[in-house]
Amino acid sequence: VALPPIHIKKTMLPTALPAWQALAEHRRATAHLHLRERFAAEPNRFERMHAELNGLLLDYSKNLIGEDTLDLLCRLADESGAAELRRQMYAGGKINLSEHRAVLHTALRLPENTAPVYVDDINIVPQVHAELNRALDFAERLQNGTHTGCTGLPIRDVVNIGIGGSDLGPRMVAQALAPYQQNLNVHFAANLDSADLDGILRRVAPETTLFIVASKSFRTPETLLNAQAARRWFLQSGRSKADIAQHFAAVSANVEAAAEFGIAPQNVFGMFDWVGGRYSVWSAIGLPVMCAIGREHFREFLRGGHDMDEHFLHAPWRRNIPALLALIGIWQQNFCGSTSHIVIPYSHGLRRLPAHLQQLDMESNGKSRNRHGKPVDFATGAAIWGEAGVNCQHAFFQLIHQGTQVIPVDFIVPLNGEGADDGRHLRLVANAFAQAEALMRGKSEAEARAETADKGLPESEQAALASQRSFPGNRPSNTILVERITPYTLGLILAMYEHKVFMQGAVWGINSFDQWGVEYGKELAQTILPELQGTTPAGHDSSTATLIQRYRQQMGNKQP
């Protein structure tokens, strides 16, 4: 189906939009307002500044915003043409301009009997479900022991070998949904450092292990080198090449390369070029997750993603959870001067969520040209980082509370924990809420002084202590509550962040779906590799040349 061209003028940067200018002025006029005062003046602030979807609650009231800020941000969204780009994305428009590709991770989550979605005149929905069902069937055969290892023993361990989007998403989801794990153990190897894969191989047995080589391109050297190492290990254990069919599977858009590697065609699961690696956990790249949690739970995960897709597509900006996160992030970054953003799940299972979001957000929105190649004159993607709560409170929270930078935080809090109900989860939740409140309120010097008033300290010491013990407050955060981490709520959370990233990219006018920036380092590694092995280094700066020299002096003839 021919889609009309995207209407945004190629030369237009969002900084030229009237709403952007108005927001800059609005920041100047409101910078003095403190969140503590805002809460005091607006008793129903939470009521007006939260949004909910099917058990997921976003409380965005602890941000440096008022109703007027939100109105202007929604105007910015309208003026930027984000709604049209969103429509194009869902409809299969080739909005990834530099790679001439559609962007259809939303199609991976569509129910089977749904309206068609066309890419190059082909309805892709049946393909999506065919491939999904093949992968789910395979996972089920592994789970119920129909697909055995070459000696007839059931498979017990599944080792996913992949990197980036072929690792971070499935690893995080499998870890988060560990309470739903059935009878297969899943492991993930990504790093080229042999310690990663070797550590796993020491714990598994060849005759009961299945390797999934996960690579959209099937060209990523890290993954191929690790896959070759796994194959060597398998063959060296006395198994034959014919046995590989029982012990190796692949997920790739490059089915021919997977076949060349020697993987049996029935064990190769397809991906689509219209799904970016960092958005691919919903596809057959989710195979290790399917192996861990099974068909029904994986479908629940997809249902959560789809419900968030529908919400993002239809809800007005002012009630639209991903859009609100995106617009408030833009406010924080482009108008209040933050440069990074922290994500803190108060859930041990979600401890890899920040790592997944780093790729999702920073690979998508770490761009300095707009989607038509024009340099931007404003800050794009924030540096994303984080760690599980409460661990982070004993690590970097000092800087968040009293440092000189203002770094917005997302607190993600499941109200129920998964472990023993012995009061620890209750305290985990108390900590999350307390951190958000402390960041917002701060503590004045007078309050800090009152705390030490009866300690009998000399006046000068009391004053000095009060100044150290005071907190500026006025530090923004979102709190995202779910009842518990389930396949469904995780689907909601993940799709929520995907659409946040889309929305920010749309307002900024950048292409969130290519990643040329990671290519250059890969190219130079290809040049340096033979130089480490002996060819004469040429054309390097003195630093790189000396580092190569040092390696060669150290390794002599020891290189592999």
Contact footprint for ligand F6P (CB under 6 A): 163-166, 215-217, 220, 223, 277-278, 363, 515, 518
The single residue of 131, 300, 363, 531 carrying the catalytic annotation is: 363
| CB closer to ligand F6P out of 288 and 294 | 288
Shortest separation between residue 359's beta carbon and ligand F6P, angstroms: 7
Residue 522 annotated in active site: yes
Is 300 in contact with 181 (CB distance < 8 Å)? Answer: no
| CB closer to ligand F6P out of 171 and 216 | 216
| CB closer to ligand F6P out of 289 and 328 | 289
Q: What is the DSSP string of 436-447?
A: HHHHHH-B-HHH
Rounded Cα distance, 372 and 266, in Å: 41
| CB closer to ligand F6P out of 63 and 166 | 166
| CB closer to ligand F6P out of 316 and 521 | 521
- Strand ranges for 61-156 from DSSP E: 118-119, 122-123
Shortest separation between residue 215's beta carbon and ligand F6P, angstroms: 3
Residue 447 annotated in active site: no
Helix axes 82-91, 67-80, angle to 10 degrees: 60
Shortest separation between residue 294's beta carbon and ligand F6P, angstroms: 24
Is 287 in contact with 169 (CB distance < 8 Å)? Answer: no
Shortest separation between residue 515's beta carbon and ligand F6P, angstroms: 5
| CB closer to ligand F6P out of 215 and 320 | 215
Q: Which residues contact 418 (CB under 8 A, 6 or more apart)?
A: 179, 349, 484, 485
| CB closer to ligand F6P out of 51 and 161 | 161
Shortest separation between residue 164's beta carbon and ligand F6P, angstroms: 3
The residue type of 26 is H
| CB closer to ligand F6P out of 66 and 270 | 270
- HEC secondary structure over 154-174: ECCEEEEECCHHHCHHHHHHH
Residue 394 annotated in active site: yes
Rounded Cα distance, 78 and 109, in Å: 27
Shortest separation between residue 174's beta carbon and ligand F6P, angstroms: 17
Shortest separation between residue 223's beta carbon and ligand F6P, angstroms: 5
User: How far out from the chain centre does Cα 356 lie?
Assistant: 3
Q: Return the H-helix or E-strand segment holding 531.
A: helix 519-533
Backbone dihedral region for residue 53 (phi beyond 0: left; psi -120 to 50: alpha; all else: beta): beta
- The tokens describing 438, both together, are 């402390």
Sign of the Cα pseudo-torsion (164, 165, 169, 175, in order): negative
Q: Return the H-helix or E-strand segment holding 551.
A: helix 542-555
Shortest separation between residue 225's beta carbon and ligand F6P, angstroms: 12
The single residue of 394, 455, 459, 523 carrying the catalytic annotation is: 394
The single residue of 9, 10, 241, 522 carrying the catalytic annotation is: 522
Question: Which residue, 254, 240, 260, 269, is CA-closest to 141?
Answer: 269
Rounded Cα distance, 292 and 180, in Å: 8
Q: How far is CA 480 from CA 50, 321, 346, 408, 496, in A?
A: 10, 10, 10, 14, 11
Residues annotated catalytic, as ranges: 363, 394, 522
